[in-house]
Amino acid sequence: MSNIQTILVKSDDPDVTSAVSAALSEAEGFRVIYCRDDRCALRRLEEVEVDMILCDLDPDVPERENALIRSRLAHASCARIVIFGPEMMEEGLAMFERTASFMYLLKPLDPKQLGVVVKRGLEHAELARRHRILSRELKLSLDDEIFGREPGGSVAGGISQFERLVYASPKMAELVAEAKIAARTNMPILIQGETGTGKELLARAIHFNSERMNSPMHSQNCGGVADDALHSELFGHVRGGFPGAISDRLGLFRAADGGTVFLDEVSEISPQFQIALLRFLQEGEVKPLGSDKVMSSDVRIISASNKSLEALVEQGRFRRDLYYRLRGFMLEIPPLRERPEDIPVLTRFFVEKYAGVVGRRVLGVTSEVLKQLENYSFPGNVRELETEVQRMVAVAEQGGYIALRHLSERIRRTRAPERAEEGWMPEGATLKEKVESLERMLVSRKLAEHRWNQSRVAEELGLSRVGLANKIKRYGLRREAGHV
């Protein structure tokens, strides 16, 4: 929710607009935007962060231009109220249901009722927002219970854990070692890595391994949040400090005093906000919106980005001075495809997690499944692996193993050499041996690609069928169980 309570009213009915202006005066702290039609409303929704939309139903507007329907999809946290006359009861109620609106109001509008409903609607949206944050915290603490293991230790079988981060690869071991050093300091930390690599998990692990562990850690996603909203979330605001500030809000910098603030998608903040953040990092001073009292706050900033901030600095889109401030320590989480050693341990870990959650008995995954997972490139990284395992656990037979048929199509179809090829080096001492090893690789790749359709492969490689059969025999190539 934006800090400024902006209400968009879509109506061409003068009775509606006059009731609204009587009910929602600016003095009470509302910024009201009037639009005569849906087209105008849609445009304004794109331009301004709107907290609530009051929509006078117009049955002639086609669905894709309907501001109420569109706002539900594109601006999910914006509260909705539908207005219609008694003669449109049926369509009105249908629209109310369909758009999950907070309330509907019948014409003629009563300004008193309208005022009360709008205020309740806004409070409701704010509670929903807080509820979302708390549920997320709760989910994370449930995770803690499931895996209530010793933090930081090494678990059996070469698997290591840093809080809830599981890994076995040397690359991650190195990163975690660095993270532990960074945790002990008070410096800001910048975590970079592709989506789903575990940036947030690492940030939490750092917090819980720092001296700040007994103070709170608060997270703020900076992506797609308007400046004033971000300002109020982080620095807070005072009641009446600006139109729509119904009550005080303690910003996260103050709420996390003594602890950590995690700024996710930090690359997305505007040039103006970059200045505000830089100032905070330099002075540690917090001035809530609408207040002239300056307060101080001692928090450590951990920020995360899936874009390279350095590249943004080069392009002039991110302040260099801020970049240097943020990267007291810089931790880069490698993508999952660069640390395949982590795939088996993560898979086992997630099987255990989800089998526990849904109360299913799954014995494990077959080695073919593991192999196939290791061959896949995981553009969505660990998150994608986690979702895949979660799905497989749900569809696997009770008491059985997760087998190839449980894998989703895109992973089942990955061909083994695809990735191996990158680092592929011919084997053998002599040129002849090296050439043969290359030939073996090429033939086996083609066979896998065409699922052992030998006529196709022979044709594509310019061999006769007998010639291909000879090579298959000579190199001992066999069709793998997974390739049906």
Sole residue written with tokens 């007994």: 214
Nearer to ligand ATP, 98 or 383 (CB): 383
**308 part of the interface to ligand ATP, by CB under 6 A:** no
- Looking at residue 386, its amino acid is E
Tokens at 75, concatenated:
């601006």
Q: Choosing among Mg ion, ligand ATP, none, which partner's interface includes residue 71 (Cβ < 5 to 8 Å by kind)? A: none
Tokens at 428, concatenated:
């053998």
DSSP 221: E
Among 3, 6, 11, 197, binds ligand ATP (CB under 6 A): 197
Q: Are 32 and 260 in contact (CB under 8 A)?
A: no
102: nearest Cα among 87, 117, 85:
117
Minimum CB–partner distance for residue 133 and Mg ion (Å)? 15
Nearer to ligand ATP, 80 or 300 (CB): 300
**200 part of the interface to ligand ATP, by CB under 6 A:** yes
Site for ligand ATP in 336-375 (CB under 6 A): 346
Tokens at 181, concatenated:
């050093």
- Binding part of the chain for ligand ATP, among 50-58, 126-134, 163-171, 464-472 by CB under 6 A, reads 163-171
Nearer to Mg ion, 54 or 382 (CB): 382
Tokens at 112, concatenated:
């008193």
Count of chain residues binding ligand ATP (CB under 6 A): 17
CA distance 233 to 2: 9
Strand partners, 35: 10
Nearer to ligand ATP, 149 or 320 (CB): 149
What does residue 247 show for φ and ψ, rounded to 5 degrees? Answer: -140, 170
**236 part of the interface to ligand ATP, by CB under 6 A:** no
Q: Choosing among ligand ATP, Mg ion, none, which partner's interface includes residue 95 (Cβ < 5 to 8 Å by kind)? A: none
**386 part of the interface to ligand ATP, by CB under 6 A:** yes
CA distance 481 to 484: 7
- Binding part of the chain for ligand ATP, among 22-30, 108-116, 165-173, 470-478 by CB under 6 A, reads 165-173
Site for ligand ATP in 176-195 (CB under 6 A): 193, 195
Minimum CB–partner distance for residue 203 and Mg ion (Å)? 8
Nearer to ligand ATP, 199 or 249 (CB): 199
**262 part of the interface to ligand ATP, by CB under 6 A:** no
143: nearest Cα among 352, 365, 341:
352
Rounded to a whole number of angstroms, the CA Rg of the chain reads 29
- Binding part of the chain for ligand ATP, among 70-78, 198-206, 244-252, 458-466 by CB under 6 A, reads 198-206
Minimum CB–partner distance for residue 1 and ligand ATP (Å)? 21
Which spans of this chain sit near Mg ion (rule: CB under 5 A)?
200
179: nearest Cα among 195, 168, 163, 158:
163
- Binding part of the chain for ligand ATP, among 162-170, 182-190, 236-244, 321-329 by CB under 6 A, reads 162-170
CA distance 56 to 53: 10
Strand partners, 367: none
Cα dihedral sign, 272-275-281-283: negative
Beta pairing, strands 165-167 & 159-162: antiparallel
Element at 16 (helix H, strand E): helix 14-23
Among 198, 244, 251, 335, binds ligand ATP (CB under 6 A): 198
Q: Choosing among ligand ATP, Mg ion, none, which partner's interface includes residue 193 (Cβ < 5 to 8 Å by kind)? A: ligand ATP
Q: Residue 399: left (phi > 0), alpha (psi -120 to 50), or beta?
A: left
Q: Choosing among Mg ion, ligand ATP, none, which partner's interface includes residue 197 (Cβ < 5 to 8 Å by kind)? A: ligand ATP
**165 part of the interface to ligand ATP, by CB under 6 A:** yes
Q: Which residues of the chain form contacts with ligand ATP (CB under 6 A)?
A: 164-167, 193, 195-201, 306, 346, 382-383, 386
